[in-house]
Chain A
Amino acid sequence: MHGLVNRSLQSFLRDTYGAPLWDQVAEASGAPAEGFEAMFSYDDGLTDRLLDSAVGMLAKPRDALLEDLGMFLVSLEPLRRLLRFSGVNYVDFLHSLDELPERARLAVAEIGLPELALVPREGEGFLVEVGPGHPGFVPVFAGILRAMADDYGAFAVVDIADPRAAPNTIRVDLLEPQFASGRRFDLGRPEVR
Chain B
Amino acid sequence: MNAKPLQDAALIGADALGRLMPMYLWITPTGLIRAVGPTLVKLCGSAPLVGDRFLDRFQVDRPRGLYSMADVQALAGQRIHLSLRSGPGTSLRGQTQPLGGGQGWLLNLSFGISVAEAVRDHRLTNADFAPTDLTVELLFLTEVKAAVMGELAALNARLKRAHDEAEARALTDALTGLANRRALDAELARDCALAARGGAPFALMHLDLDFFKTVNDTFGHAAGDAVLVEAARRLRGQTRAGDTVARVGGDEFVLILRGEADADTAAEVAARIIGELERPIPFDGRPCRISASVGVALSGRSPAPGRMQAEADAATYAAKRGGRGRCVVG
Contact = CB atoms under 8 A, between A and B. Distances in A.
Interface of A: 37-39, 78, 81-82, 85, 87-88, 103, 106-108, 186-189, 191
B119 A38 contact: no
A114 B239 CA distance: 65
Contacts of B143: 78, 81-82, 85, 189
B152 interface: yes
A85 B142 CA distance: 12
Interface residues of B, number: 24
Contacts of A37: 155, 158
A39 B151 contact: yes
A171 B267 CA distance: 88
B120 interface: yes
A9 B127 CA distance: 35
20 contacts: A37-B155, A38-B155, A39-B152, A39-B155, A78-B143, A82-B140, A88-B127, A107-B144, A107-B147, A108-B148, A186-B123, A186-B125, A187-B124, A187-B125, A188-B116, A188-B119, A188-B120, A188-B139, A189-B116, A191-B120
Grouping DSSP codes into helix (H, G, I), strand (E, B) and loop, the A interface class, with mixed when no group exceeds half, is loop
B136 interface: yes
Contacts of B117: 188
B126 interface: yes
Nearest to B151: A38
Nearest to A85: B140
B141 A106 contact: yes
B139 A187 contact: yes
Given A82-B144, A88-B126, A107-B144, A187 B136 contact: yes
A78 B147 contact: yes
Nearest to B152: A39
A145 B144 CA distance: 20
B188 to A, nearest CB: 36
Interface in B114-156: 116-117, 119-121, 123-127, 136-137, 139-141, 143-145, 147-148, 151-152, 155
A107 B139 CA distance: 12
B151 A187 contact: no
Contacts of B139: 85, 187-188
